[in-house]
Structure 1
Amino acid sequence: MKYLKIVLILFILVGFEDYPLFARDKKSIAPEDILNMSIEEMLNVKIITAGKKEERIADIPASAVIITRKDIEKYGYMSLEEILENVPGMYVIDDLGAYRKTYGVRGFYSGTPRNIIFLVNGVSQAEGVFDFNVMANFNIPVEAIDRIEVVRGPMSVMYGQGAFFGAINIITNDSYDGTSLASVSYGNMAERAVAKISETEGEFKYSLSAGYSATDGPDQDWDKMVTDMSALTFWGINSSNNTTKERLERDSKNFIFSGKYKHFYTDMMFNQSTDEAAIFRPAVSEGSAYNRDSAKIAVGYENQISEAVRIDTKMIYHHFSFDLDWDITSAVFTGSDAGETSGEADMYEFEANSFINVTDDFLVTTGLYYKMTKDPEFHADVNIFNLIYDDTTTDDIELLAAFTQMNYLLNEKFRLVGGLRAEKLLGYTMIHDNKPGQPANTLTQREYDEDDIDLIPSLAAIYSYNDQNVFKFLYSQAIARPSFFQNRDQFVSGRPNLEPEEIETFELNYMTVPSSKITANLSVFHNTLDRLIVRNNSLVGNQLVQYSSNGGKLVTNGAELSILTNPCEKFHADFSLTYQDTEDQRDGYGHIEVAYSPHLLGYAKLSYDFTGTISFALTGTYVDEMETEWNAALNGGAGGRIGQSVDGHFLLGANLRFNDLFDKGVYLNIRGSNILNNEYLYPTYVNNTWADKGTLGDPFEILVTMGVKF
């Protein structure tokens, strides 16, 4: 059997729900176990993401959601993206660009994947060029995931910049119990293969997974997204190529290894992906191909050095590189190749944390953090826009931080949690080499000197009225610093340096179990977001000008209600509703509806276990109507939207699962997404303003998976 496991892994390599109250570190939480727990038992379940250590759910200063292995199997989610689309308070927008789907949280949407920090086994997935958490860089197959912890709200005290809207930890090494699996999937749009093994050999424990996935992408006409197709004629779109077919294909290969020996541990992740996308204009031939390579290696040491003190230190190496082949043309472009952009960076992180039990009632977490981005590079040879340049820095980009969080139990009912992080980005100098090797070559430098020390606080008061009712008052701040890529945009376009984004949140969270069959969670929140960084693209003559700017102040008020029920042993139903209203407080903007901010989000999940081996589940998500960005320069300075508003949409999914089908461990999963085949649109974003109607969402998709656990 051991050799079979190795063969399965090598075979893959050659090709190279959420329950709003709970998360546990070392054991998968079965839904039937949770729904039979008392409130006291529920609040004793532990989560690791909120404080980088095991903490009872009752003690964490945050609102948490967990998705277990059982949830993923029960609802049959096809991808990590689909899992997150079903998390209360989160919604997705896909502009068909290079980032894949990006997420908004409780009414805030930035357009770039850098405001939620993604972790895989506690290792940050950001890279050193864009500082993005692009899902293509860690396209983990769902079969390899043991658990996902979603902590909503600013988490910058613990994780620093980037944890703006929250932190999501994807855990693939939850246990080393010897359980392994292999599966293949095939559907009307996608195919997939996955293998995973976990073993314990004496004091050495390891988990290893490898996966491959590919999708053909949708086959839709571009004119469903455009009011006037003649506007695209200049850009080479005609009756022969007016379709997305074979122009939005994707594939990825992923490998993850986790190991632990005594007090030492390691996590290694490697990912290759190719995403075809619409970059600035629709592709005219085979699709604009965005190729990414990512490698992350973490080595750590964890030890309980005394009864009162535990330490955890780790070093992480990141490598990221990309190249983008532009597949666009224009009526005035006479060349055969539109060009390409590329870049790469190495990044090093060091973190040392200590967890101190001062007394039984007083716990202190402290940490030191250092990050160095070495030799970031961005190159452009985009002939169609006459863009030829090389950008880098003369210095390493260094970030220093120290933080502490204190958790004090005043009495049996009342707990205080407070934290503070001090963070400083050292200044660095950027170099722009325009038209290298040509007579018109120029070399310019500019310093990024927004290097103040930022202090980031958080505070929580937690009150347990009785065993069935718990209140949390939460206050936190977070920042998001501009990346090397965003800063070089400002440099090249002659615009001022960007300032860090800031967010401040107040939340009142109430958890209750009114009966043994019902669990409820209510949150009321007030968020203030200042200096949101927004990207802009425009053509000046035949020159493409790209830059970012700090926007105004957005204020959101909202409420979120989640209810979990099990009317009978075999039937489970979860419902969640989020309402929010966001206002732009810049002068003259108060009457303008905020873009990309739906007022209403709805989620539902139903499951029924027929025999213990056969189950059926439904998932439903509703996202309210949304507006596009307001551009004050349009219509002769009178202002206007860059695209049309889009209607709200409802997506229904279904899953039928057979366990122990022919033999113990053999399973069959049939998942359908958007089974009503609703045609819906995401609002136009600045990367693709040609799609003034909006960009098309995913059509009906079915995926059949056959696998075996052993």
Structure 2
Amino acid sequence: MTLKQTFCLYLCLSAAPILAAESEDLFSMSFEDLLNVQVDIGSNTSETLASAPSTITVFNKQKINLLGVDSAYELMNFVPGMQSTRGDWVGAVPKDHARGVYLDSGNVLVMINGERINESSFGKASVYMPFIPIEIIEKVEFIRGPGSALYGSNAFMGVMNVVTKHDVNEVTAMIGSNGKRGVSLSAHYQFNEDVNAFTSLAINKKEGDYYPQGVRDPLESIYFEAGVDINELQLRGRYNKVELDEFINLAGYSKQNQHQSENHFVSVAYDWLQNTTTQLTTKVAYSEHDIQSAGLILAASNNPFAENDFLNGPAWTTSDLKVNIDFKHLLTNDWVVNAGYEFSDAQQKSAGVRTNFYDQASGNIILDDAYYLGQISTIKEFAPFASLKASFETHSVYGQLKIPLSETVTVFLGSRFDDVKNIESKLSPRFATIYQPTPANTFKLQYGESFRTPVTNELYSNDDVTVGNPELRSEYVKTTELVWRHEAKSWHSNMVLFHNQLHDFISTIPQENKTNMFTFSNQLDDTNRGVEIDSRWNITPEISLTGTYTQYFDEPIKPTFKRFASIISSYQLDQWLFSINALWRGEVKGETLTAAPFVQSSYMLFSATSRYSINDKSHLTLKMYNLFDKQYNTYDPRVANGAVAGVSREISLNYSMDF
């Protein structure tokens, strides 16, 4: 280990996780207030980070701004046990690494305001929403570990919940290197004591940097959200569109690679009963996800029958109708009961293909120049994909009991039962015991089970690459955690020891008849153990140091980072605020597609932010990502040489104004 890496790890062991503060000024709250921020993602009851029955990390908008990131997915790099990298799919859709699991199937549940983004075709949220702009974010909450007892499928190795801005009036503008530019607006208006409304709009574009592979990584994104509250009635709507072209796909880098995704969401909720002891709420929500992609599958140089590259991808639409009834009640002995019912009807409504080789007569893709279309075209009705147009009807019931046994001991007991029609039923229990012998020390023993239902691509695919397996079972994990949290006057730390028992993980395996290259099978069982450390030190009222460190004791089931860390230092001087952060990732060893050994060396990335307050309502922020323009790769086993190029240096200047 180099001196630089050793220094980083030393600081991380004596520094901090990012905690949320509901304040406009990062330093306006006391350290004690920061520790008592209320969160409910882990229990459906309002808890502090110390009293919550899950391992939680929270980012507020001020601390997000300090990190110089552009998207919610990038925040994963500052969460113990989690990482996010660009993957091998069209436009470098983000991939998540969580507690030693690096699989391309949606093992982290992503939500916006408590509504799931993961859907039924690919399972992973980032395919359909690969960019969630920070300009619209109020805070982001992470559960590290199981969450199925509350949220069902995909809340497997973790949960990310993005909470958007609903009560601010703010406008921002941004310009930067590589053609970066963007504008955003968040507005809120209180018509009277019974009616209020909000809206958010963010538009981001960039031309992208030039890479040695001869491509760029452009981005176009629009996010719009609006809502109205009328007494006990809440109406919500959301629209998102993202385009990521060029960069990379399975067979390599190509200027022809294309990716576009669109998302629509509407919901209606009503509070039938809400007082100091009881709350009864119903909600009906509908979401629709559309993807239009085509990426390099086979280069012309590797195809003896054609002189043109073969590009192919999905033209798919999925939808999800959900009805939820949620009940909360505070009993006379201070016990708290949570219970609910949820109905979900998830459908893959269309399953076309986007391709540049196609035989109209037979309805097949034929890699011969005689069937070259001259451009990428959309085939709406593609016979091999017909079986993908399936539906998942799910009925779920869940319950939780919070039992304060004494002033120092609290117990949480809960479970959720999900019945997925024609697939499988799963019971996801969990319990937690929280012991606080002194105000400075909290100990937790937590156990939970989580699962992930197989998706249509795994169950019913039928193309030249994969064939589905309708006999697949759900993946599931059993997680035990021991947590020690220490809080001092100006310093706090957390240590989490976790033990995961992984069962029935779905993996691709070669087809015996070789008609298709791969099929899917429940073939992976494994154990993953590790330690996650995070801490914060307020050196003075103006200077703070924050850090995380993660170490796995076992080899991950697929090659991924076994050790990684982050550190953030912040300094405030009058109207100025300065921040420097660093990410360190350890060595990764794997194989390329040719089974040749691959070694990804450890590396460190630095970023910096400086913020100047012009007055109480307007601010200028300079962000510098990958400050020293580090040239690095991350490992992905499906890329020919095993490497995906990392993001080079990006600089942006942001102006924000409250009104």
The change in CA–CA distance for 1:110 and 1:133 in structure 2 (over 3 A counts) is: same
Task: Give the equivalent residue in structure 2 for 1:221.
Answer: 212
| Deviation per residue, 1:278-323 (Å, 9 max, x gap) | 3321354x32111111101111112544543211221110111112
CA positional deviation for 1:360: 3.9
CA distance in 2, matches of 1:380, 1:35: 55
- Provide the TM-score with structure 1 as the length reference: 0.81
Task: Give the equivalent residue in structure 2 for 1:518.
Answer: 491
CA contact (8 A) 2:606 2:625 kept: yes
Task: Give the equivalent residue in structure 2 for 1:481.
Answer: 453
CA positional deviation for 1:606: 0.2
Task: Give the equivalent residue in structure 2 for 1:229.
Answer: none
The change in CA–CA distance for 1:666 and 1:538 in structure 2 (over 3 A counts) is: farther
Residues 1:207 and 2:198 aligned together? yes
Alignment of 1:695-706 (within 5 A): 695-706=644-655
CA distance in 2, matches of 1:33, 1:417: 33
Query: Which piece of structure 1 moves more, 198-207 or 375-384?
Result: 375-384
Query: Which piece of structure 1 moves more, 291-300 or 377-386?
Result: 377-386
> What percent identity do the matched residue pairs reach?
18
CA positional deviation for 1:110: 1.3
Q: Which amino acid aligns with 1:558?
A: G
- Provide the TM-score with structure 2 as the length reference: 0.86
Q: Which amino acid aligns with 1:695?
A: V
CA contact (8 A) 2:136 2:200 kept: yes
Residues 1:570 and 2:570 aligned together? no
Task: Give the equivalent residue in structure 1 for 2:155.
Answer: 163
1:657 pairs with one of 602, 611, 636: 611
Q: Which amino acid aligns with 1:621?
A: L
Residues 1:259 and 2:204 aligned together? no
CA positional deviation for 1:67: 0.6
Task: Give the equivalent residue in structure 2 for 1:444.
Answer: none
Task: Give the equivalent residue in structure 1 for 2:101.
Answer: 108
CA contact (8 A) 2:78 2:548 kept: no
Task: Give the equivalent residue in structure 2 for 1:534.
Answer: 507
| Deviation per residue, 1:489-546 (Å, 9 max, x gap) | 27972646222111111111111123x12111111111121222234699999x8735
1:370 pairs with one of 343, 349, 354: 343
| Deviation per residue, 1:134-181 (Å, 9 max, x gap) | 1752633212111111111100010001100122111113x52x5322
| Deviation per residue, 1:238-292 (Å, 9 max, x gap) | xxxxx224xx3221111111332211112211111111253321354x3211111
CA positional deviation for 1:335: 7.3
Alignment of 1:266-305 (within 5 A): 266-276=235-245, 277-284=247-254, 286-305=255-274
Residues 1:180 and 2:170 aligned together? yes
Q: What SS does structure 1 have at the residue aligned with 2:125?
A: coil
Task: Give the equivalent residue in structure 2 for 1:605.
Answer: 568
Task: Give the equivalent residue in structure 2 for 1:552.
Answer: 524
The change in CA–CA distance for 1:306 and 1:702 in structure 2 (over 3 A counts) is: closer
The change in CA–CA distance for 1:305 and 1:507 in structure 2 (over 3 A counts) is: same
Q: What SS does structure 2 have at the residue aligned with 1:143?
A: helix
CA contact (8 A) 1:63 1:152 kept: yes
Task: Give the equivalent residue in structure 2 for 1:314.
Answer: 283
CA contact (8 A) 1:344 1:377 kept: yes
CA distance in 1, matches of 2:141, 2:110: 10
1:73 pairs with one of 65, 77, 81: 65
Task: Give the equivalent residue in structure 2 for 1:3.
Answer: none
Q: Which amino acid aligns with 1:403?
A: Y
CA distance in 1, matches of 2:544, 2:345: 48
The change in CA–CA distance for 1:672 and 1:537 in structure 2 (over 3 A counts) is: farther
2:87 pairs with one of 95, 104, 113: 95
CA positional deviation for 1:329: 4.1
CA distance in 2, matches of 1:207, 1:377: 33
Task: Give the equivalent residue in structure 2 for 1:412.
Answer: 407
Task: Give the equivalent residue in structure 2 for 1:244.
Answer: 215
How many residue pairs align between the two structures?
A: 614
Q: What SS does structure 2 have at the residue aligned with 1:526?
A: strand
CA distance in 2, matches of 1:539, 1:623: 38
1:670 pairs with one of 611, 622, 631: 622
CA contact (8 A) 2:103 2:558 kept: no
The change in CA–CA distance for 1:537 and 1:318 in structure 2 (over 3 A counts) is: farther
Task: Give the equivalent residue in structure 2 for 1:233.
Answer: none
2:123 pairs with one of 127, 131, 134: 131
Task: Give the equivalent residue in structure 1 for 2:314.
Answer: 341
CA contact (8 A) 1:28 1:146 kept: no
2:397 pairs with one of 393, 402, 408: 402
CA positional deviation for 1:366: 0.5
CA contact (8 A) 2:292 2:354 kept: no
Q: Which amino acid aligns with 2:125?
A: N
The change in CA–CA distance for 1:19 and 1:258 in structure 2 (over 3 A counts) is: farther
CA distance in 1, matches of 2:233, 2:189: 16
CA distance in 2, matches of 1:413, 1:155: 25
1:391 pairs with one of 386, 393, 399: 386
The change in CA–CA distance for 1:139 and 1:206 in structure 2 (over 3 A counts) is: farther
| Deviation per residue, 1:420-456 (Å, 9 max, x gap) | 11111101xxxxxxxxxxxxxxxxxxxxxx33x2111
CA distance in 2, matches of 1:305, 1:92: 39
The change in CA–CA distance for 1:320 and 1:33 in structure 2 (over 3 A counts) is: same
CA distance in 2, matches of 1:85, 1:321: 28
CA distance in 2, matches of 1:537, 1:278: 24
Residues 1:508 and 2:482 aligned together? yes
| Deviation per residue, 1:42-72 (Å, 9 max, x gap) | 6653102112342343432101111112212
Task: Give the equivalent residue in structure 2 for 1:46.
Answer: 38
CA distance in 2, matches of 1:646, 1:670: 31
Task: Give the equivalent residue in structure 2 for 1:197.
Answer: 187
CA distance in 1, matches of 2:348, 2:644: 36
| Deviation per residue, 1:638-687 (Å, 9 max, x gap) | xx46x512111111000111112xx552322111111122221111322x
CA positional deviation for 1:629: 5.7
Residues 1:646 and 2:636 aligned together? no
Task: Give the equivalent residue in structure 1 for 2:576.
Answer: 614
CA distance in 1, matches of 2:267, 2:16: 30
CA contact (8 A) 2:484 2:495 kept: yes
The change in CA–CA distance for 1:303 and 1:51 in structure 2 (over 3 A counts) is: farther
Task: Give the equivalent residue in structure 2 for 1:11.
Answer: none
Task: Give the equivalent residue in structure 1 for 2:558.
Answer: 595
Task: Give the equivalent residue in structure 2 for 1:431.
Answer: none
CA distance in 2, matches of 1:42, 1:282: 46
Structure 2, gaps ≥5 residues long: 1-14, 359-364, 368-381
CA distance in 2, matches of 1:394, 1:339: 19
Q: What SS does structure 2 have at the residue aligned with 1:699?
A: coil
1:691 pairs with one of 612, 624, 641: 641
CA distance in 2, matches of 1:391, 1:313: 35
CA contact (8 A) 1:28 1:69 kept: no
The change in CA–CA distance for 1:381 and 1:653 in structure 2 (over 3 A counts) is: closer
Q: Which amino acid aligns with 1:671?
A: K
The change in CA–CA distance for 1:599 and 1:35 in structure 2 (over 3 A counts) is: farther
The change in CA–CA distance for 1:332 and 1:645 in structure 2 (over 3 A counts) is: same
Q: What SS does structure 2 have at the residue aligned with 1:485?
A: helix
Q: Which amino acid aligns with 1:118?
A: V
CA contact (8 A) 1:324 1:341 kept: yes
Q: Which amino acid aligns with 1:351?
A: N
The change in CA–CA distance for 1:490 and 1:159 in structure 2 (over 3 A counts) is: farther
CA contact (8 A) 1:212 1:254 kept: yes
Q: Which amino acid aligns with 2:56?
A: A
Residues 1:426 and 2:421 aligned together? yes
2:551 pairs with one of 570, 573, 579: 579
